[in-house]
Structure 1
């Protein structure tokens, strides 16, 4: 497995994992636009991810050839075995497991470890030679509260201010559907109103058997209908003219970045909801320990803190600095250290990112970036 400017490249298999530009063969972990790009020749992914790509990009741009792979099903490409395990991030999200000549690598994609009624939960693929993980929230400050407790805070606010409209900024893929499902589980049976940008993917989730209850378009609703209602919209819409048409709105934003209160204040968020679709600091470290790989590569996020924490436990860590990841998910919020929530702008192929992982694991301890797995 080689790190290239296009992303992770499996040389013997002749395919890329979540490439950032069009390639002949791509294996895609999930449907967020920083991982699922248009224009590939052939795309391998879960059926749900392929459907999301078609919905967002159009049939022609989602891959000229599309192959759906169910979790646990194995395909072989040029002697390389590939299979998928659920990642728990959004509908259809998957970890990508690759095996060649007895060596095995697991690429997590984005993932979370909390229960989510709208997607399959994360499953550990034990003891690979290399585990490739994200690190979006890899700082000790990020310890996410239970999402159910955040929904309870929202519903207390709705009860306290019955004459106001609560408008929640929620990313269109994954976050919006999860917030809706959490509201239903908490007993909110009234219609939930949606910005038009959220409706298509909510309908797609329902087509895969995810119940979301009664959803109505907010744009055509009378202003009076929205008094005391809950409205969901993209994060970009909650502070613009679209939201100002609502009745004395309580502006909310559902994101892991809402744990950084100055971010909430900067965006004019009155009720920040710390609901993340990524693993937090403790969950990232627990996952690394549960997977049990002797070497861990970090694709994007706060890789320095995670690599340091792993070194304290005797694990080899390597920061890949993959360009382009983390730019769309969680609403594109910047991380508290001034990045973009990923590592866009870091030079791909610099330092440890120029390594390869092919063959036996005997060279993995090298500090030159030429380790193998």
Structure 2
């Protein structure tokens, strides 16, 4: 599709004169979601969902979230240049969106990060038929087939019951994974207090302001060892291996990530109880989505591009690797200012 072009700043739409998830400050950016590798500061005009803008303001400050901030509700059509756009739910985190663009009778959809499995803390993924689909490929290898998240939560709760004197500390990033784990714990029947590292609280508060109920949340930083014994503590991944975690009584170190499917990763990080809970689509979901869009061409970005392109070719679908540089994975989301808090 000639009117979409990869540039160092990100994917550029020529007739609309805007970038999607630009990596450097630009005059106009359409943002898929608020994770730090997709939502960068200091753009001039920013177009995204109200939830994403609220998270951006919370995490980076009002002045850094964009000079002119435009809140776009899901399915609300708007125009930039000669292009008509609208945002469809991506199912990744609160406010996450696919960017749908229509120009000269063609429709292109940029997925951003997305998942197909149910998540009580955000709008579910919505399939949008299109001519061109630009998909992420974080877990685009056949080895990545994520189990139901309820299975992983049941495994965690069983371990909590088995070791009532130990504190279970779960490494999870601040936006999306933390709130999803809390909601899954509540669905699994855990109604007690959940203790939070200070870096996780602002986004949890924001989720609750948007009507996502998370129950009894308490600060782990000021809690006594007696209060934390037998409890569940959530913290950024960097904090679970840091001196911050030494205050916890005999901790069981857990990490919630799609990468926990790889045992070597869990072992290398000293994880005793790996939890395979991902906010990205797995191998089967990626292939399913690419086929169901009906797109004649699939562009693949920030992930295992070659494997997915090869699998699509076997299905008669043309694929292209965009090789955009600068997008991370789900364990690398925490901004520098939040990473600094993990050593406090």
Cα displacement string for residues 206-244 of structure 1 (whole angstroms, at most 9, x for unaligned residues): 000000001000000111000000000000000111111
Contact 1:256 1:330 (C-alpha < 8 Å) held by counterparts: no
Equivalent residue runs for 1:184-333 within 5 Å: 184-327=186-329, 329-331=330-332
What CA distance in whole angstroms lies between the structure 2 residues aligned with 1:331 and 1:232?
17
- Measure, in 2, the Cα distance between the counterparts of 1:301 and 1:129: 22
Taking the TM superposition and a 5 Å limit, the aligned residue runs for 1:100-179 are 100-126=103-129, 128-179=130-181
Task: Return the TM-score normalized by structure 2.
Answer: 0.95
Contact persistence 1:255–1:331 (CA under 8 A): no
Contact 1:135 1:301 in 2 (8 A): yes
Q: Does 1:56 align with 2:31?
A: no
Query: Structure 1-normalised TM-score?
Result: 0.88
CA distance in 1, matches of 2:270, 2:259: 14
SS state of the match for residue 95, structure 1? strand
Determine the C-alpha separation between the residues in 2 that align with 1:153 and 1:94. Answer: 31
Name the SS of the counterpart of 1:330 in structure 2. coil
Shift of 1:332: 6.0
| Structure 2 gap segments, 5+ residues each | 335-344
SS in 2 for 1:197: helix
The residue aligned with 2:341 is none
Runs of 5+ consecutive residues of structure 1 not aligned to the other structure: 334-373
* Superposed CA offset, 1:8-40 (max 9, x none): 001111100000000000000000000000000
The structural deviation recorded for 1:245 is: 1.1
Aligned residues, how many? 331
Q: Distance in 1 between matches of 2:47 and 2:256?
A: 31
Q: Provide the alpha-carbon RMSD of the alignment.
A: 1.0
In 1: Cα distance, 2:333 partner to 2:70 partner: 29
* Contact 1:256-1:274 within 8 A present in 2 as well: yes
CA distance in 1, matches of 2:312, 2:328: 22
SS in 1 for 2:19: strand
